[in-house]
Chains A and B, each alone.
Chain A
Amino acid sequence: MGNDIVSGLRPALILTILLTILTCGAYPLVVMGVGQLAFAHQANGSLIANKGVVIGSELIGQSFTSDRYFHSRPSAAGKGYDPTASSGSNYGPASKALSDRMKGDIAKYQAMNPGKPIPADLVTASASGLDPDISPEAALFQVPHLAKLRGIPEARLTALVNASVDTPIVPFLGDPHVNVLALNRQLDQLSATPAR
């Protein structure tokens, strides 16, 4: 036993150092080098800039509180869509807090579009709290309300949503979704160009 320990000390120390250099130095740096050269946009967070100012990331959701925008899902990341605190609500299935939160959101959306069934993703918090997407149904649900507020014909807005739906490359791998930030940017553009 004693001999077993002594004979293992040198490889334990040196190999740990060598493997650290390989797997924590060489490996990530090669990935970083290739990434920064070949995929600079993705490697730096898929940021979106408008006139030189970063307005967000294609992959990270944002909070929308104004009536003039499509709303994102409820978020448990910090005070909402805070990437320094990604998180789900972690409420269990029989949680009263979850039920109460949902009731609040349901009331809000019922007022927006009375009588219509509310898509589940609009009143449930995502796993990351940073979900950039909503379902196409959740976007279409908000159309009549936004059309009225923005003074855009409903048909145009519906067409905008339908054109914004992303489907996975192989459709059954995931669900169709609409990126809320991209949709709202197009909404702003649509408002800026009056209908002909």
Chain B
Amino acid sequence: MTVQGWLLILVFTGLVIAMTKPFGMALFATMEGRRTWLHPVLGPIERGFYSASGIDPHAEQGWRRYGVHMLLFNFAGFLLTYAILRLQNFLPLNPLGFPALPPHLAWNTAVSFTTNTNWQSYSGESTMSEFSQMVGLTIHNFTSAATGIALAFAIIRGFSRKETSGLGNFWADITRVTLYILVPACLVYALILLASGVPQTFTGSVVATTLEGAKQTIVLGPVASQEAIKMVGTNGGGIFNANSAHPFENPSALINLLQMLSIFSLGAGLTWCFGKAVGNTKQGWAIFTAMLVLFLAGTTAIYAAEGAGNPIHHALGIAGGNMEGKEVRFGIAASSLFANVTTDASCGAVNAMHDSFTALGGLIPIFNMQLGEIIFGGVGSGLYGMLLFVILSVFVAGLMVGRTPEYVGKKIEGREVKLAVLAIAVLPLIILGFTGIAAISKAGLAGLNNAGPHGFSEILYAFTSAVANNGSAFAGLTASTPFYDGLLGVAMWLGRFFVIVPMLAIAGSLASKRIVPASAGSFPTTGPLWISLLIGVILILGGLTFLPSLALGPIADHLAMIHGQLF
């Protein structure tokens, strides 16, 4: 670890704090449907979309209708992408002449992008036409992000409204988020990327004659426009196999900083938006602080492990930190920070290969995802995932002081707690269940790139990443087989929607309640005591559930590494 590395982490942290309120204000204005400076240009498009689709943006929807419409919209998008991938050879913009994707790969990819996971079972530069990238995949980068933020809006309304069944209008929410937040932000961002060297062209590839006279086929494409939404929407699926490690996606250390900030921007902003909506921005900052503490702890752990390096390599005479799977222009600090940011959020973009991290450096990304990606998290999903833990924490606090738990003026009762436990239980059930199936089946073991405990880590990472809708990988695992494509697809779908539906039900139940004014007996949910309790509940619940699986994978791997045991 170096002073320079810590400077990067501190400056990054400062920038995250600084950008939270501005992004929060923009999100709040969008949630409320307020007029912004973009309305003179985009207002007519918004109204046009409503009238063409038969949408009444003022029609309030209860949680069931909001949820059903959200599912219909996502299912329509899934079908569209599946069709595009299966028919890629008949569609335009296929300069390298790629064939249609096989059914298992098309299923996996369509689910992956619909659920904001962006797990890349495919290898972009050798399987996906430009049309597939630009339409089949990019559409979900926008719509899955818009869906996540819309859901966060609906759930925030559940906490902030009283004695109503309405949680807002799903169609108005996604239209506004796309028009007033995602598209303008990406337009500016994409141009910055372009100016820094990220390509944007329909030319599929250029053949270069290298200095030594060899042929090198340089793959190009419409990268900049997809790269922008990939980060802002915490999608993470890149044009290229190497993702944000590829110099065309992430050409410099400055762009790397911008990429990390853009991953957190909307997730951090939503915490402020929540506080504003419930009438006390301190409530938002309390959630933000709990996230920030967990973020700093994770970053420190990865940076310490990667900076210390690998004793097996030290024994070979190679001193210093672990550079396997890292790019020189970023170095160890920026790679460690990126790995933590991308797994705190549900982004899954990588600028270094997590598979080649030291054992403990690779443990933290898995653990971040196993907590449910609630540390700023995916756009929208981070906030509502954190609110599940908030409900459990006030419940625990209520048990300790013997009062009915309250949160931001709402009584938290049996129904909410049961639903929250249901939503949280999905994660360990599927991650551990499916990992177990893969670890004892021939098809599951066939894809391993590494033997020994690291092989188990590869499987555990894959299912954790799928259920948590992250999309990053211990990429050595060959997952483009019918077995993994199928099972991971199911895991991604369940991990996304089986958290969302109970959470919407909670919001519906809360919206119908009265607001109870805070009294002397209310447990305060803003101070350090509350923040510590919240962090404690997160770590105990998340940590204890997954500790045995981590012991079999990364921890055993670490013991092998420090004893020089090779596999």
Q: Interface on A for B, CB 8 Å cutoff?
A: 1, 4-5, 7-16, 18-20, 22-24, 27-28, 30-32, 34-36, 38-39, 42-47, 53-66, 69, 73, 77, 81-96, 98-99, 102-103, 106, 117-118, 120-121, 123-135, 166, 168-175, 177, 181, 184-185, 188
List of A residues within 8 angstroms of B310 by Cβ: 93
Known A22-B45, A56-B218, A57-B208; 11 more pairs at CB < 8 Å: A4-B64, A8-B68, A12-B72, A16-B139, A19-B139, A31-B190, A39-B195, A83-B125, A92-B458, A118-B318, A131-B329
Q: Does B557 contact A (CB under 8 A)?
A: yes
List of A residues within 8 angstroms of B320 by Cβ: 120
Q: How far is the CA of A174 from the CA of B253 in the complex (A)?
A: 5
Contact B353 A127 (CB under 8 A): yes
Q: Does B280 contact A (CB under 8 A)?
A: no
Given A4-B68, A93-B359, A124-B324, A31-B200 contact (CB < 8 Å): yes
Contact A12 B199 (CB under 8 A): no
Contact A24 B178 (CB under 8 A): no
Pairs of residues from A and B, 10 with the lowest C-beta to C-beta distance, nearest first? A174-B253, A175-B331, A90-B476, A92-B454, A127-B245, A88-B353, A86-B242, A168-B253, A28-B225, A128-B242
Which residue of B200, B353, B452 contacts A90 across the interface (Cβ within 8 Å)? B353
List of B residues within 8 angstroms of A85 by Cβ: 123, 125-126, 241
Q: Which residue of A lies closest to B352 (CB)?
A: A127
Max chain A C-beta neighbours (<10 A), residue from B324, B351, B560: B324
Contact B142 A96 (CB under 8 A): no
Given A28-B200, A94-B566, A174-B252, A45-B68 contact (CB < 8 Å): no
Max chain A C-beta neighbours (<10 A), residue from B4, B200, B321, B334: B200
Given A62-B216, A63-B212, A103-B252 contact (CB < 8 Å): no
Given A7-B65, A88-B356, A92-B476, A132-B224 contact (CB < 8 Å): no
Q: Shortest Cβ distance from A25 into chain B, in angstroms?
A: 8
Interface size on B, residues (CB 8 A): 134
List of B residues within 8 angstroms of A42 by Cβ: 194-199
Contact B567 A96 (CB under 8 A): yes
Interface segment, one of B31-39, B73-81, B462-470, B541-549: B73-81
Contact A59 B242 (CB under 8 A): no
Q: Shortest Cβ distance from A161 into chain B, in angstroms?
A: 14
Contact A59 B251 (CB under 8 A): yes
Q: How far is the CA of A83 from the CA of B239 in the complex (A)?
A: 12
Contact B191 A121 (CB under 8 A): no
Q: Shortest Cβ distance from A82 into chain B, in angstroms?
A: 7
List of B residues within 8 angstroms of A28 by Cβ: 134, 138, 200, 222, 225-226
List of A residues within 8 angstroms of B45 by Cβ: 22
Q: Shortest Cβ distance from B247 into chain A, in angstroms?
A: 4
